[in-house]
Amino acid sequence: MTNPLSGSEDIPIDFLQYAQTKGHENIYYKLDSTTGLVAIIAIHSTRLGPALGGCRYTEYSSNRAAIYDALRLSRSMTSKAALAQLPHGGGKSVIIKSRTPQDRQALFESFGRFVNELNGKYITAVDSGTTLEDMEAIGHQTRYVASLPSQGEPSPFAALGVFRGIEAAVQFKLQRDSLTDVHVAVQGIGKVGHVLVQSLLEAGAKVSISDINGQFIEQYRTQWPVTVVPHNQIYQLECDVFAPCALGNVLNTKTIPQLNCQIVAGAANNQLGHDSDGLLLHQRNILYAPDYVINAGGLMYASGRYFNKPDAQITQKTRAIYEVLLEIFDRAQQQDAPTNFIANQLANEKIAQQS
């Protein structure tokens, strides 16, 4: 899969200045020549509790791109945890995937030792490119890990949150209480996208799907009553809802003018290339469900499992994403402001209230 930070994106050179400007507390970097581990842990905030955020394992165009990814993602995790009213701050880790074969278990055990060195400041979890088995390897070396195999797969909860978010956006923008015949274009059929599509079809939605892996996506033609769209045509597709569920940086000055939808609501992290791209969506009268709000179900699950909360309680909290988004949409309408700006305001209010 192509990394979202490859190419000529505007990645800052002075990371210390960037981190200071965005309010980060710490950046940790680890090299292990024995296993080939090259990893970064970015902690944005621990004001509300230990930083919680997933571990990515993917190729990057440069070390600079990997650090930037960790910094951006950790910042959004602080806001995500605050709006979800979880006792956590924001953190994120990335392991730079080598182009040469690696001993995966040894690699993740080494990363587990890295996490353990931080003495609970950061709790890791499954993310793009990592598996529950990877979390188990990490767990051999530290207790500061969520998403263990014994705790189950988080993707159904992440998908539930996105589904509820789409329902909220459709109710607010289209004034429809049902997803029957609502056309949703889903970009990226990974673990979350797969469950989301099933839920949408069960709700009576019309679904189009796209994935960068053309051979992989073709199998769904016979499995589901969906329309398969080439990945380079998904932005122009006329639909009600565009649901980005792959990697980030998909909403930018190149793609936003191509959109032919009324709503953007999906599972991907860091969907906006820059915060200012939320204004472009607002100016086009496209309702945007801020990514770190709508996709918070996975974090709610990880936190709930870490603290041994029952599934019913985690499900109830995940379903409440609907009400949080309606509050953001309503404020944005009243203030004539982009929804991502309003979400940031609301998150800052929550942090101030809980600190």
Q: Which residues are catalytic?
A: 92
248 close to 2: Cβ distance less than 8 angstroms: no
**To the nearest 10°, the Cα dihedral for 346, 82, 177, 234?**
90
340 close to 293: Cβ distance less than 8 angstroms: no
Report how far apart, in Å, the C-alpha atoms of 23 and of each of 74, 76, 83, 93, 343 are. 11, 12, 18, 17, 17
207 close to 198: Cβ distance less than 8 angstroms: no
Question: For the chain, where are the E strands, in sequence order?
Answer: 26-32, 37-43, 51-58, 89-96, 122-126, 183-187, 206-210, 227-228, 241-244, 263-264, 287-288
